[in-house]
Structure 1
Amino acid sequence: MTRAQRLLPGLLLTTIVTITNAQQSSPEFIQPTRPVPTGLAPHMQVKLVSQQKGERTFAVIFGKGDEVLSGLTDFAKQYHVGDAHFTGIGAVSSALTAWFDLDRKLYHPLPVNEQVEVLSIIGDIATFQSRPIVHTHVVLGKRDGTTAGGHLFEAWVNPTLEVFVTAEDTPLNKRDDPSGLRLIDPTK
């Protein structure tokens, strides 16, 4: 059972399509629209680094035990971010990444259950039904020099993660796509 599942009984399990083994903590598939729990980054700190006409840049610093997607979602809500892109580096003690199966319209999980370096975290924030949606990809470096990565569903920081977010004043909106994903709609 993952840390989030222990903290939020039932929330994450409602989005699991199939469990391959009752003993296994990782689902066989993950819905693209799996909800992101909030309030799981109590050590996160935010600093406005620069502000120019139409653009703000923030340093979002996570502490040990913070969950990244939860924190970025909380950040976007608190600072009214409806259009942004971000990059970052740091380390996590575990992560749930995935790759998208276009034919099934579902994600295949790729859990990483060890201390790893976050070699790159990159993503965007846009709005769907008046809520910020964080879309993140990550590359993780293992102790033997190999990497793992993909779409990020969950990552637990240890000891820190430093993310720089550039927010634009003009919001971007997402729409449901026939692929099963929520994609940015450049016409709105």
Structure 2
Amino acid sequence: MRHKLLEDIGGRRKFVLVLDAGENAVASITAFAQDNGLGATSLTGIGAFAHASLGYFNPATKEFRQNDIGDQTEVLSMIGNIAVEADGNHKMHVHVVLGCIDATTRGGHLIEGSVRPTLEIMLEESPAHLARGVDAKSGLVLIQP
């Protein structure tokens, strides 16, 4: 991964990350956030995956259904946030829309994505603290404003 700090004004940092082929998008971005002490951070991205796993949350069972996509896809839209959990670890919550070879799309919660050939990410940090915690009603780990 290559990265560059684009701006650092009043506790607001902006970074660009460029991930390389073979990198796990979720692991790489989360590690970058942890290593750089990012708190409340918004994320957008475009690029492509060799394969990906997407999640769909079933509110009745309170479980994610994992949908694996084994083919090359274009990352048409990637949007989400990064926050800190109670244990101090960073957690990324990202949704993607993936374009398939036949021009159909698939979308959902990004569980894993293997980059090929690249993934370009923009991170924008807020000076505010953003934490995650378990929501008793849904069972999900949600932002706790």
Q: TM-score, normalised by structure 1?
A: 0.74
Please state how far the C-alpha of 1:123 moved relative to its aligned partner.
Answer: 0.7
Bigger radius of gyration: 1
More strand by share: 2
Q: Aligned partners of 2:48, 2:131: CA distance in 1, in Å?
A: 31
Partner of 2:143: 184
Same amino acid, percent of matched pairs: 38
Number of equivalenced pairs: 143
Q: Secondary structure at the match of 2:139?
A: coil
Deviation beyond 4 Å, 4+ runs, structure 1: none
Q: Partner letter of residue 138 of structure 1?
A: V
The answer for unaligned runs of 5 or more in structure 2 is: none
* 1:135-146 equivalent positions in 2, closer than 5 A: 135-146=93-104
The reply to whether residue 134 of structure 1 matches residue 92 of structure 2 is: yes
* 1:32-181 equivalent positions in 2, closer than 5 A: 44-129=1-86, 130-178=88-136, 179-181=138-140
Please state how far the C-alpha of 1:170 moved relative to its aligned partner.
Answer: 2.0
Q: Secondary structure at the match of 1:70?
A: helix
Q: TM-score, normalised by structure 2?
A: 0.96
Q: Partner letter of residue 128 of structure 2?
A: T
Q: Secondary structure at the match of 1:74?
A: helix
Q: Secondary structure at the match of 1:72?
A: helix
Q: Aligned partners of 1:164, 1:97: CA distance in 2, in Å?
A: 21
Q: Aligned partners of 1:118, 1:157: CA distance in 2, in Å?
A: 10
